[in-house]
Chain A
Amino acid sequence: MPKAGTEEASDLDPSARGVAKAAPQQPARTRFRRRNRRLKRWFPYLLVAPAVIYLMLITLYPGVFAITQSFYKVKFGPWRPIGFANYARLLGDYQFLGALWNTFLIGSISLALQCVIALTLAFHTYRDPWIRGWRIVFLVPMLFMPSAVAFLYKLAFLDARVFSDILIRLGLIEHNLAIQSSTWLSRAVLILADVWQWTPFLFIIFVAALQGQDEEVEEAARLDGASWFQIFWNISLPMMRPVIVVALTLRAIDITTMFANVFIITKGGPAFGTETISYFIYRTGFRSFDFGYASAASVVMLILTVIVAQTVVKRAFVSARS
């Protein structure tokens, strides 16, 4: 009997009656507060202003500075305007082009490995009752300082030859692996270090995406006769596509600017075989002190990164929507 119940309740409830009577006693001036329109409009900008100003100081100013500098010859002394000469020189510089190629090679192999490993791990664990534990375990490599990881890998593969020793003990090889004198082995060490440290990043994102998937859909697919792999391939993967693309783009931007590992483990060697763009820029600017030239290289890299990221993300989202 809901009707009678509520009626009785409101009759008996003194506070309800009090409110009902108090309302008309209020001065008839206004019940609604009017806010200052101009303040309302500017308030959000006011809130973000400190962050924006800070960001501009640390990114926009150096950015503009670098772009300006790229049109000058700068070697300690006064700046000498040389137009596009720095850019023209870049196009014919085999070391710059080599660095581009190395960055692409190391980056794409590393990214592909990370993606496959992270997807495999995520798909095998996302309905696991111990997933919280798995997440913590897999997260550990990401928590290390990048330079510390780089030193670990340098020790294990180069300086202390732990890896070689293990292979010799196992009887797989007879002599020490000359990693430092092999371009491909050096690249492999860089790739391995990056995969080890950053696969967890993708894993965590992929697990979250898979956990958001409707369980009923999985059950429907099972009843339709799909195996776990078929469910993954036909349903989970297509649905995860936008997430995968965004996560990979973030990683790709990170890998493109890979510096610490190169600087610590290989120093770009042997024979510039592992020199990435970031390392090339560093070497040009802080070893050869050719600041204008280094700035030009940074600008080229920035433009390339933006173009690639934009097209990839745009593509992925359009096709996921249609």
Chain B
Amino acid sequence: MARIELRNIQRKWGEFWGVRDVNLAIEDREFLVLLGPSGCGKTTTMRMIAGLEEPTEGEIVMDGEVVNGVDARDRDVAMVFQGYALYPNMTVYENIRFPLRMRRIPPSEHDARVRRAAEMVELSEFLDRKPAALSGGQRQRAALARAIVREPYVFLMDEPLSNLDAKLRQQMRVQIKYIQRKLQITTVYVTHDQIEAMTLADRIVVMKAGAIQQIGTPDQIYHDPANTFVAGFIGSPPMNLVAGRLEGGTFSAEGIRVDGLPDRLGGDVVIGIRPEDCTVADEGHLSAEVFGLEPTGDVTYLTLRAGDKLIEVKADRSYRVPLGSGATVAFDPARIYLFDAATGERLR
């Protein structure tokens, strides 16, 4: 069992709020991702779980026991750092073995456990090397092996993939998820990359400026965003957000007019529409100048300029149009999200 609860967690540095009012329950064996832009408090939250940082206020509870004030070395958490943090003076083997030595695990078990962990991350051939002689991906895997070797109470991963190239990142994502499922260890994973969050998480916690914006499964976060921040942060390219006025079920902004929206709402609103819910058509809601066209092979991203707003549209892979010409786009009214213009909160 490994259930972690954060109750009213605050972290202040002088007048600066690093983390405020975080309430969160991490379930046993769950893969939880803390997602947000840099400076949103996600790493601080994780460091407080690790015990590397003490909350200014609030309680951290592990299996019903408050662990505030318990030193990092006594919490039995394993962490994978962004910079890998391997011990440069030791070989990979010694690196992986280090936590076993420090935790007084009988030396007779060491060799088997180190080799099993190394095998799990496909690092068996490199055990004699020092970290300096490894590639970035291998270092990352060595750090991962060091974390899994002692089968800790909880895994913490602080942007472990951000120093890898795109292809390697995709491979490591799959591997990390596989290992987590196999070992069934509660995992907290910090990232600013929404694709990592979507692909890895059982649940995502979206954070901004030290506060939680939304907690939910990847599907909930994607299809049912709580506010404009979440809507604009998730998705690649992200959701189009256009401010305008809603009256009698009709939304109007510069160059855009959409009918058929709920007529019980009104006033200044922001509408959100995902690029994949827009289609290029002869007749539609928006006609504007083509500002950009990015063919990627399997899909073509079309950028339209309406007033000072840029609208992203996912078009067919064969769609081509010269820059500066005009295009017309239709939205699926059922897939339009409405947000309050002042607060950014979702209107339902």
Contact = CB atoms under 8 A, between A and B. Distances in A.
Interface of A: 1, 214, 216-217, 219-227, 230, 234-235, 238-239
Contact of B81 (A219, A226, A234, A238): A219
Contacts of B52: 219, 222-223
A235 B89 contact: yes
Contact of A220 (B79, B103, B291): B79
29 contacts: A214-B83, A214-B85, A216-B83, A216-B85, A217-B86, A217-B87, A219-B72, A219-B79, A219-B85, A220-B79, A220-B81, A220-B146, A221-B87, A222-B71, A222-B73, A223-B50, A223-B52, A223-B72, A223-B75, A223-B77, A224-B78, A224-B98, A225-B73, A226-B98, A226-B102, A234-B87, A235-B87, A235-B89, A238-B89
B267 interface: no
Contacts of B72: 219, 222-223
Closest 8 A/B residue pairs (Cβ): A225-B102, A220-B85, A224-B99, A238-B89, A216-B85, A225-B103, A226-B102, A222-B72
Interface string B89-113: 1000000001100110000000000
B88 interface: yes
B310 interface: yes
A225 B81 contact: no
Nearest to B104: A225
Contacts of A222: 52, 71-73
Contacts of B71: 222
A221 B88 contact: no
Contacts of A1: 291, 305, 310
A234 B98 contact: yes
Given A223-B50, A224-B99, A239 B88 contact: yes
Given A220-B81, A223-B51, 9 more contacts: A1-B305, A1-B310, A214-B85, A223-B77, A224-B98, A224-B102, A225-B103, A230-B102, A239-B88
Contacts of A214: 83, 85
A117 B151 CA distance: 39
Given A217-B87, A234-B87, A224 B146 contact: yes
B81 to A, nearest CB: 5
Interface string B277-319: 0000000000000010000000000000100001000000000
Nearest to B87: A235
A238 B88 CA distance: 9
B79 A223 contact: yes
Contacts of A219: 52, 72, 79, 81, 85
Contacts of B87: 217, 220-221, 234-235
Given A1-B310, A220-B79, A239 B85 contact: no
Nearest to A216: B85
A6 to B, nearest CB: 15
Contact of B85 (A217, A225, A230): A217
Contacts of B146: 220, 224
B247 to A, nearest CB: 30
A223 B98 CA distance: 11
A127 to B, nearest CB: 13
Interface string B142-153: 000010000000
Contacts of A220: 79, 81, 85-87, 146
A214 B132 CA distance: 14
A235 B95 CA distance: 11
Most buried by B among A222, A223, A226: A223
A1 B73 CA distance: 49
A244 to B, nearest CB: 13
Contact of B99 (A217, A225, A227, A235): A225
A234 B90 CA distance: 9
A227 B74 CA distance: 10
Contacts of B78: 223-224
A223 B77 CA distance: 7
Interface in B40-89: 50-52, 71-73, 75, 77-79, 81-83, 85-89
A223 B71 CA distance: 9
Contacts of B99: 224-225
Contacts of A217: 85-88
Contacts of B79: 219-220, 223
A239 B89 contact: yes
A47 to B, nearest CB: 36
Contact of B73 (A216, A223, A234): A223
A225 B291 CA distance: 56
A212 to B, nearest CB: 12
